[in-house]
């Protein structure tokens, strides 16, 4: 079974600064997908970024980028030029590729989350 | 707006009761997933349906059941409710069966008193 660990329960950053959220995972799979989702106070789950494990290039989406270290099983999220609207709980998630037998399917396995607060 | 809709947004009920949560996936998506988010257990996968058929089961209690209808909407039925079932229940959908990004609905907040 896969496990995802986010060791930082809470973080804070000043507006316009850069912050990095950590995520590590444990798997015996060689092919998989990794995701970062954010959950603002509205509780909506919003996709931030996705990384395919077979790709060496780190994914980027505007101010959001990842540092994917496959050998270290590390997948950190960097947020540049932090904005007040970035205040949210951030979840790291793992998906096996291809999906496993019927008992595992295409499920997402989530970490515990990191609460990020952006201060003005 | 992800395009996934869930009803109701909030639900308050008593122990022992039965409730039904409804989900409509994004247009064109064939897979539907249900997740439970609670304070003590975090975000947990419950079940996945693809084009009307059950594809995977997670930590779903026997008191819970789900189905996906021909129009692809899905329902999650929770019965013999207990205080510990209070949680935020998310539905997510994806285009296909494999390696597809999942888009989440706004969730149904269930409170069991």
Of the pLDDT bands very low, low, confident and very high (cuts 50, 70, 90), residue A113 is very high
CB contact under 8 Å between A106 and B43, yes or no, is no
Note whether B97 contacts A106, CB cutoff 8 Å: yes
Mutating which of A45, A52, A61, A112 best tests the B interface, going by the most B Cβ atoms within 10 A? A45
Q: What distance in Å separates the CA atoms of residue A55 and residue B81, rounded to the nearest whole number?
A: 45
Q: Report the distance separating Cα A89 and Cα A4, nearest Å.
A: 15
Mapped onto helix, strand or coil, the DSSP state of residue A85 is: helix
Residue pLDDT, tens place only, B89-100: 999 999 987 767
Partners of B65 in the β-ladder: B77
Residues of A in Cβ contact (< 8 Å) with B92:
45, 108
A37 touches chain B (CB under 8 A): yes
Q: Model confidence at A100, in pLDDT bands (50, 70, 90)?
A: low
Burial of B108 (0-12, 13-18, 19+ CB in 10 A): buried
List, for residues B15-72, the tens digit of each pLDDT value.
999 999 999 999 999 999 999 999 888 999 999 999 999 998 998 999 999 999 999 9
Give the pLDDT confidence of A22-46 residue by residue, as tens digits: 999 999 888 899 999 999 999 999 9
Output the DSSP codes for B43-104: EEEEEEEETTEEEEE-S--TTEEEEE-TTS-EEEEE-S--GGG-EEEEEEEESSSSSPPPEE
Mutate to test the interface with B, among A29, A93, A108 (most CBs of B within 10 A): A108
Please tell me the least confidently modeled range out of A58-62, A73-77, A97-101.
Answer: A97-101
- Stated length of chain A: 120
Q: H or E segment at B18?
A: none
Distance CA B108, CA B49 (A): 19
The reply to whether residue B48 touches residue A105, judged by beta carbons under 8 angstroms, is yes
Q: How confident is the model at residue A105 (pLDDT cuts 50, 70, 90)?
A: low
Inter-residue contact B86 to B110 (CB < 8 Å): yes
Chain B residue with CA closest to A43: the answer is: B106
- Name the pLDDT band for B78 (thresholds 50, 70, 90): very high
Q: Say how far apart CA B61 and CA B34 lie, in whole Å.
A: 13
> CA dist B27 to A113, B55, B73, Å?
29, 20, 10
Q: Please report the pLDDT score of residue B23 as a whole number.
A: 98
Query: To which H or E segment does residue A89 belong?
Result: strand A88-96
* Statement: residue A99 has pLDDT above 90: no
CB contact under 8 A, A37 and B58: no
Residue B96 is predicted with a pLDDT of 83
């Amino acid at each position: 079974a896969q496990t995802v660990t986010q060791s930082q329960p809470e973080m804070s950053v000043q507006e316009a600064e850069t912050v990095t959220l950590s995520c590590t995972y444990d798997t015996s799979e060689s092919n998989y997908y990794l995701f970062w989702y954010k959950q603002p106070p509205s509780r909506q789950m919003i996709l931030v970024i996705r990384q395919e494990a077979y790709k060496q290039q780190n994914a980027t989406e505007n101010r959001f980028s990842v540092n994917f270290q496959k050998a270290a099983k590390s997948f950190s999220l960097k947020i540049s030029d932090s904005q007040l609207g970035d205040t949210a709980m951030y979840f790291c998630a793992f998906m096996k590729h291809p999906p496993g037998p019927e008992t595992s399917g295409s499920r997402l396995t989530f970490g515990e989350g990191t609460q990020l607060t952006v201060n003005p | 707006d992800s395009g996934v809709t869930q009803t109701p947004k909030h639900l308050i009920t008593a122990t022992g009761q039965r409730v039904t949560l409804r989900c409509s996936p994004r247009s064109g998506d064939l897979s539907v997933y249900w997740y439970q988010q609670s304070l003590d257990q975090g975000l947990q996968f419950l079940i996945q349906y693809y084009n009307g058929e059950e594809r995977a089961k997670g930590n779903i209690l026997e008191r819970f059941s789900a189905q996906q209808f021909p129009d692809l909407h899905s329902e999650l039925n929770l019965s013999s409710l207990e205080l510990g079932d209070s949680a935020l229940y998310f539905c997510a959908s994806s285009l296909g069966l494999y390696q597809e990004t999942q888009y989440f609905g706004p969730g149904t907040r269930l409170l069991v008193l």
